[in-house]
Amino acid sequence: DTAVSQTPKYLVTQMGNDKSIKCEQNLGHDTMYWYKQDSKKFLKIMFSYNNKELIINETVPNRFSPKSPDKAHLNLHINSLELGDSAVYFCASSPGPTNEKLFFGSGTQLSVL
Amino acid sequence: GDSVTQMEGPVTLSEEAFLTINCTYTATGYPSLFWYVQYPGEGLQLLLKATKADDKGSNKGFEATYRKETTSFHLEKGSVQVSDSAVYFCALRLSGSARQLTFGSGTQLTVLP
């Protein structure tokens, strides 16, 4: 069983559309994250939730809205997609917010045309 | 702010060659240091870590030593294999805080048979 699974793996869409990426972890972890990896492979934290509560919210446009229905799920909804949103988005989890070992999903490659 | 600088890739080596991937950091406190590896089509996974000066992290034949005097954490392996082909990320985190990992930009390694 995949520990951290995210869907879809690939997402191609037009500018202006709204899309969602789903993430689920079956590790029993309390903390989940969304990272964005740009075309140069640079990884940046976007959000972090601990037990369904938002604990990290980096400077991300408010078109991006994370939602955590329970601590095993952290979904990412993006409104009014822009060309610059094209990237690979990684979900991750850890036992707690200060735990240093993150478990990553395999990524969602978003292409905005 | 905290930052991590890695040598730019891509790095291409023949099997059994010696590997060094340089990593230096800037931090306001005393960070823990990490190497994560991303195999093709997968998410990142923790390779090794070191939590204080002069500690050596090691795993799967890879090693890195925390050098406070040079603010470095270079990754080394004495004899690489084709299966080591991946992207390698250096990262830091201020110990004991809820702050997220700060990643470098990644170094692509390709090992040829």
pLDDT, tens only, A13-23: 999 999 999 99
For the beta carbon of residue A108, count every other beta carbon within 10 angstroms.
21
Residue type, B27: A
Q: What is the DSSP pairing of strand B86-94 with strand B31-38?
A: antiparallel
Give the range among A34-38, A76-80, B67-71, B95-99 with minimum mean pLDDT.
Answer: B95-99
**pLDDT value of residue A66:** 93
- Please say if the pLDDT value at position A112 is more than 60: yes
Alpha-carbon gap, residue B55 to B52, rounded angstroms:
6
Q: Do B43 and A4 touch (CB under 8 A)?
A: yes
Q: Do residues B10 and B63 touch, judged by C-beta distance below 8 A?
A: no
- Please say if the pLDDT value at position B2 is more than 90: no
Q: Do residues B43 and B66 touch, judged by C-beta distance below 8 A?
A: no
**Of A11, A56, A37, residue with least CA distance to A104:** A37
Of A40, A104, A106, the CB nearest to B105: A40
With bands split at pLDDT 50, 70 and 90, how would you rate the model's confidence at B98? Answer: low
Q: Do B42 and A98 touch (CB under 8 A)?
A: no
- Please say if the pLDDT value at position A80 is more than 80: yes
With bands split at pLDDT 50, 70 and 90, how would you rate the model's confidence at B99? Answer: low
Q: What is the mean pLDDT of residues A37-50?
A: 87
With bands split at pLDDT 50, 70 and 90, how would you rate the model's confidence at A34? Answer: very high
Of A4, A48, A98, the CB nearest to B97: A98
Q: Do residues B76 and B48 touch, judged by C-beta distance below 8 A?
A: no
B52 CA: distance to closest CA in chain A (Å):
14
Q: Do residues A102 and A4 touch, judged by C-beta distance below 8 A?
A: no
Q: What is the mean pLDDT of residues A49-77?
A: 90
**pLDDT value of residue B43:** 86
**pLDDT value of residue B84:** 97
